[in-house]
Amino acid sequence: MKKKVLKISFQGALGSYSHQASTKFFKDPVVVPCESFEEAIETVRKGKADKAILPVDNSTYGRVADIHSLLPASKLFITAEYFLPVDICMLGPRSSSLKTITTATSHPVLLGQCNEFLKKNNIKPISGYDTAGSARLISEENDKFKGALASKIAAQIYGLKVLRANIQDNKNNTTRFLLMEKKPKKLIGQQKKVITSILFQVRNIPAALYKAMGGFATNNVNMIKLESYMLGGSFEATQFFADIEGHPEDMSLKRALEELQYFTNKLEIIGVYKKSKFRQKYS
């Protein structure tokens, strides 16, 4: 029987960190580069890819705002998480050197993670659409005075030279990715070291959020992430995204979710997945 080829969609050009994460997490996937996060999600929804790999948090920069705003409406289900140590490289054309480079183009998030290096080398940051796209642009321009901040895989793909590797200010710089796909017919079974991700909207009553959170405390359930979003441009309607330790069928989490439901207009489980081994090292 012919083995099915796994197709993974991501935002960015070939050589992006999302591309790198997909090849690290999966063995020999077919990658589907997309212009936007929306397109990466829609590619899965239309069945043109099996899963999307999406960055949600960076240990230096914080949350990826675009993704967090898209999660509620994605209609996809989180089935895994992956942590990628980010090695940012200063790339340039073959004719360049670190002494010739005067500008560095990259995604603003990456530029912000290399402030010390850029200042020390008197290199002006230039905002680009994404990391790999910036590397491709620099390759096409082939100007020894122009460089890009991107990955080693981008240097290989676009024929650039790595002028300096590991230039990020924070040497422990790491990005967390979520793997999203159409909701599986069967969730992973009850086991230790599981994360449940939920969306909920609190009712418009005094101290609703405080009361909603109380059930997690009384049932000894650890909430490891909580994000809020304004709905429909209103300052009154708020939706929350949360990552919680435990499986929905664990009695303690089950009771906490039942209490939460009493104070909410909407409660939806959008992910159940194993904790990454990277996270487990610090548990």
Cβ count near 199 (within 10 Å): 20
85-105 burial, b if ≥16 CB within 10 A, otherwise e?
ebebbbbbbeebeeeebeebb
Place of tokens 């999966």: 26
Task: Considering the candidates 26, 37, 177, 241, report the single residue annotated as catalytic.
Answer: 177
Is beta strand 30-34 parallel, antiparallel or unpaired with respect to 51-58?
Answer: unpaired
Residue 177: active-site member:
yes
| Distance of alpha carbon 165 from alpha carbon 150, whole angstroms | 10
Which residues are paired to 105 by β-bridges?
126, 148
Which residues are paired to 264 by β-bridges?
202
Place of tokens 């960190």: 17
Nearest alpha carbon to residue 74 among 114, 102, 43: 43
Task: Considering the candidates 175, 241, 263, 264, report the single residue annotated as catalytic.
Answer: 175
Residue 216: active-site member:
no
Question: In the chain, what's the furthest Cα-to-Cα distance?
Answer: 65
| Distance of alpha carbon 283 from alpha carbon 277, whole angstroms | 10
Is 144 in contact with 88 (CB distance < 8 Å)? no
| Distance in angstroms between the alpha carbons of the first and the last residue of the chain | 41
Backbone angles phi, psi at 207, to 5 degrees: 60, 30
Q: Which residues are catalytic?
A: 175, 177
